[in-house]
Chain A
Amino acid sequence: MTGRVIVITSGKGGVGKTTTSANIGTALAKAGYKVVLIDTDLGLRNLDLLLGLENRIVYTIVDVIEERCKLKQALVKDKKNPNLSLLAAAQTRDKTAVNAEQLKEICNTLKEKNDFVLVDCPAGIEQGFQNAVAGASEAIVVTTPEMSAIRDADRIIGLLATKEEITSTKLLLNRVRPNLIKSNEMMSVDDVVGILEIPLVGIIPEDTGIITSTNKGEPIVNDEDALAGKAYRNVAQRILGEEVPFLDLDEPKGIVAKIKNAFAKLKAKV
């Protein structure tokens, strides 16, 4: 079998690449696919924390490259889901410990025995980015509806367009706050898509549940009730080729918002 290698990137830091990697990976694994997550953020690894695997890591990607262990030994299996495993980044080394060719080789080896290889890319456009992209054939660009994140995403999209191996680049809009969009204080999904002009793979609402899920080391897709979890599950389904409508984030929650909405509708009728 030949799996798909997807790089999750953004340019700007802190927009949710690692959270996205952990959640999409978990969702795909829950759907029955074999998934490997690779953390390529050498020196600043975090994917292990989000998955709650930080205490299980024995070998890292650098150990594999420097032949201190076999690739299989360095893969850490998820606690709950045997379909999911993690290849952790080395915390004590920097980006120069790995080169693009080596990462490409690892991706190529892993995709032979897995359905999906998800590469969590570090922030920036330097060596770390070049390494992470090297083995991938698809890319998901994560951004938030903020100017700085969108500008950086635009830069990344431009760089990805120069890579022949990348055949598909899709947008994941993270931390969307419907109430701010409604009051015209945040760019809407359409605004962002109109500017970046790449197809959308997901819209993830801002969800405080993300904080608690990070605290626990358990991706929010495991929480059936969380809206962000549902949004990430939808992303996974879209990656699998299903057509899933985007969540309607406009639906107001809470009694006050509902009353307000009812009055607004009434007013519109009058």
Chain B
Amino acid sequence: MGLFSDIYNTVAKFFRPQEEQGDASKSVATNRLKLVLMQDRTNLTPRILEQMRSELIDLLSRYVELDKELLELNFEQEGDQVALMLSIPVIRAKDEEEIEAAIQAHKESLENDEESESEEFEEESETEEETDETESSEIAEEKTEEEIEAEKTDAIAKELQDVPKIIKKKKVSKPEEMGNNPFKSDETENIEDVIESSSENK
């Protein structure tokens, strides 16, 4: 029997269309390549990417309850434009009180981190913004720590406005791509692998 089935398998394999054979190593190559090119093109190392990912989770978790495991952070290129695509399944909307509490908790943790007069520099940052436009070159030369911090908060505020738009874009324009997304969870695992291995090296 064994001999016959061997012969049968050999013959069957011979006549099978070639597409069915092979271990599809090309899709592994394509996905690895897309990931590495994204890093090359954006100067985002796996470590920085992971940091961005965790900061975004922190930020968005204040407003909605998210499925952190299924978060997808991708770059998609259309022509010259690189778009950052963020897709996170929302488990549940938070109510107003919860959001307020989360924001408050975050503010407190920020204050604790800095141990500085946050109110004061918020006012400063506003006046500085006005001068920014007229004397930007001078200011750029002597950036104080407070200004850098103010820029940071500005950037966070901007992020707040931008991120939901990106999510929306993803959901509205590309629902069909959800299935075969090149940087799906497999690749995020890869990132983690890389990080793990790099930290092991150290």
What is the interface of chain A, defined by CB distance below 8 A to chain B?
Answer: 146-147, 150-151, 154-155, 158, 179, 181-188, 191, 195, 197, 260, 263-264, 267-268
On whether the beta carbons of A185 and B25 are closer than 8 Å, the reply is yes
With contacts A154-B37, A158-B41, A260-B14 taken as known, whether A182 is within 8 angstroms of B19 at the C-beta atoms is yes
Given A267-B15, A267-B17, 12 more A-B residue pairs with CB atoms under 8 Å apart are A147-B29, A147-B32, A150-B37, A151-B40, A154-B41, A179-B18, A182-B18, A184-B24, A187-B29, A263-B15, A264-B16, A268-B17
On whether the beta carbons of A195 and B29 are closer than 8 Å, the reply is no
Interface size on B, residues (CB 8 A): 24
Within 8 Å of chain A (Cβ to Cβ): is B27? yes
Q: List 26 A-B residue pairs with CB atoms under 8 Å apart, sorted by A's residue number.
A: A146-B29, A147-B29, A147-B36, A150-B33, A151-B33, A154-B37, A154-B41, A158-B41, A179-B18, A182-B18, A183-B18, A183-B21, A184-B25, A185-B22, A185-B24, A185-B26, A187-B30, A187-B33, A188-B26, A195-B33, A195-B34, A195-B37, A197-B77, A260-B15, A264-B18, A267-B15
Within 8 Å of chain A (Cβ to Cβ): is B175? no
Shortest distance from the beta carbon of A268 to any chain B beta carbon, whole Å: 8
Within 8 Å of chain A (Cβ to Cβ): is B79? yes
Number of A-B contacts (CB under 8 A): 61
CA A263 – CA B15 in complex, angstroms?
Answer: 6
- B40 touches which of A155, A182, A187 (Cβ 8 Å): A155
- A-B pairs with the 6 shortest C-beta distances? A183-B22, A264-B17, A184-B24, A182-B18, A184-B22, A263-B15
On whether the beta carbons of B36 and A151 are closer than 8 Å, the reply is yes
Q: Which residues of chain B are near A182, meaning CB under 8 Å?
A: 18-19
- A191 touches which of B16, B18, B26 (Cβ 8 Å): B26
Q: Which residues of chain B are near A188, meaning CB under 8 Å?
A: 26
* Per-residue A-contact encoding for B51-87, CB less than 8 Å = 1, 0 else: 0000000000000000000000000010100000000
On whether the beta carbons of A184 and B19 are closer than 8 Å, the reply is yes
CA A184 – CA B33 in complex, angstroms?
Answer: 16
Name which of B17, B24, B34 has the most chain A CB atoms within 10 A of its CB: B17
CA A93 – CA B23 in complex, angstroms?
Answer: 47
Shortest distance from the beta carbon of A175 to any chain B beta carbon, whole Å: 15
Q: Which residues of chain B are near A147, meaning CB under 8 Å?
A: 29, 32-33, 36
Q: Which residues of chain B are near A183, meaning CB under 8 Å?
A: 18-19, 21-22
CA A179 – CA B26 in complex, angstroms?
Answer: 13
Shortest distance from the beta carbon of A162 to any chain B beta carbon, whole Å: 12
Task: Please provide the chain B residues from 76 to 118 with a CB less than 8 Å away from any CB of chain A in the complex.
Answer: 77, 79
CB nearest neighbor in B for A262: B15
CA A146 – CA B29 in complex, angstroms?
Answer: 8
Shortest distance from the beta carbon of A269 to any chain B beta carbon, whole Å: 12
Shortest distance from the beta carbon of B137 to any chain A beta carbon, whole Å: 25
Shortest distance from the beta carbon of A95 to any chain B beta carbon, whole Å: 24
CA A184 – CA B27 in complex, angstroms?
Answer: 8
CB nearest neighbor in B for A155: B40
